[in-house]
Amino acid sequence: MTAKTYMVGNWKMNQTQAEIESFFSGLSLSNNQNNFWIAPQCLHISKCMDLGAKAGVLIGAQNCSEHEYGAFTGENSVDSLSEMGVHFTLVGHSERRTLFGETDETINKKVLKASQTGILPILCIGETLKEREAGKTLDIVLGQLKAGLKDLKIQNESEVIIAYEPVWAIGTGKTASPEQAGEVHNAIREVLSELYGDFGQDISILYGGSVKPNNVEDLLAQPNINGGLVGGASLKAESFNALCSAC
Ligand code: PEP
């Protein structure tokens, strides 16, 4: 199995122009093989593309529209994102699902739209605390996985990435234990293999949810955890450097 390891920062609605400059000037990424990525606010993509190119950091979006173009005020089309040169887009982040009412159906349309446009979708899936406590974790996560990937055809393993993010661990300081996360990642791997055969063995599965420099190594030691999707700890160069050096 040779799934590539990625460290992806989700900056959410954070970072001023000055903070972005300070972030990029503080980066020192060893072992960089184009696998350290940042998703800033859309307004900042252009600036980050310039600064990221010098640092060897690829830039993506946090979301995209499922529509091609038209009267969708406030949305960003995949064509426009592609014209800007973005490499990837997050799709179905739990904040999009809970705060903006995104359904598995919409998320699937976004995955397909991004992929057709040559933008790599990072499909985010994860259970709430209530669902975990009710013993429904795998049903929920694997259901979201299959629904999000419906009709997605890939020609190789690097055309899609999955991010498992337990909702109860995002921005809360509570991380899933490596064993809890590892168990879900193993189940995701099985489904990816059923869906995509050999490619499924090598699709990267990221873990997200309060990943920090002090817990990243234990998480990455799990065989099917192939990197992190990181919010808070990706905002400062110092901690992003530390996360990347664990890859
Ligand atoms: C996220 O935004 O996807 C995330 C995992 O955030 P945090 O690392 O802050 O929990």
Per-residue pLDDT tens for 37-88? 999 999 999 999 999 999 999 999 999 999 999 999 999 999 999 999 999 9
Q: Which of 123, 210, 225 to mutate to test the pocket of ligand 1 (most atoms within 8 A of CB)?
A: 210
CATH code of 15's domain = 3.20.20.70
Instruction: Please report the atom of ligand 1 found closest to the CA of residue 172.
Output: 10
- Using alpha carbons, list the distances in angstroms from residue 164 to 22, 95, 109, 204: 30, 14, 19, 11
Structure confidence at residue 194 (pLDDT): 97
Residue 11, in any domain of the structure: yes
Q: Which residues contact 202 (CB under 8 A, 6 or more apart)?
A: 1, 2, 3, 4, 157
For residue 215, is it within any domain? Answer: yes
Residue 45 lies in a domain: yes
Cα-to-centroid distance, 41 and ligand 1 (Å): 15
Q: Are 52 and 59 in contact (CB under 8 A)?
A: yes
Q: Give the per-residue pLDDT at 210.
A: 92
Residue 1 located in a structural domain: no
CB-defined site of ligand 1, < 6 Å? 10, 12, 165, 170-171, 208-211, 229-233
Report how far Cα 83 is from the mean position of its chain's Cα atoms.
21
Average pLDDT for 154-162? 96
Task: State the pTM of this model.
Answer: 0.97
Whole-angstrom Cα Rg for the chain: 17
pLDDT tens column, 83-128: 999 999 999 999 999 999 999 999 999 999 999 999 999 999 999 9
Query: Which spans in 26-136 are helix H?
Result: 45-55, 78-84, 94-99, 104-116, 129-133
Domain that holds residue 187: 6-245
In the reported structure, the alpha carbon of residue 144 is separated from the centroid of ligand 1 by a whole-number distance in angstroms of 19
The percent of residues above 90 in pLDDT, for the chain, comes to 95
Using the atom order of ligand 1, give the atom closest to the CA of residue 232.
9
> Which residue, judged by its Cα, is nearest atom 6 of ligand 1?
231
Phi, psi at residue 85, to the nearest 5°? Answer: 95, 20
The overall average pLDDT reported for the chain is 96
Mutate to test the pocket of ligand 1, among 165, 215, 216 (most ligand atoms within 8 A of CB): 165
- Nearest CA, atom 2, ligand 1: 231
| Domain membership flag for residue 185 | yes
Per-residue pLDDT band for 1 (boundaries 50, 70, 90) equals low
In a domain? residue 31? yes
Structural domain tally of the chain?
Answer: 1
Residues 6+ apart with CB under 8 A from 153: none
- Pairing outcome for strands 227-230 and 6-10: parallel
Residue 174: what pLDDT? 84
Does residue 166 lie within any of the structural domains?
yes
Among all residues, which ones are annotated catalytic? 93, 165
* CA of residue 243 to ligand 1 center, whole Å: 13
Side-chain half-sphere CA neighbours of 214 within 13 A: 3
Please give the number of the atom of ligand 1 that sits closest to the Cα of 230.
8
Q: How far apart are CA 224 and CA 219, in angstroms?
A: 10
Q: Do the domain assignments include residue 120?
A: yes
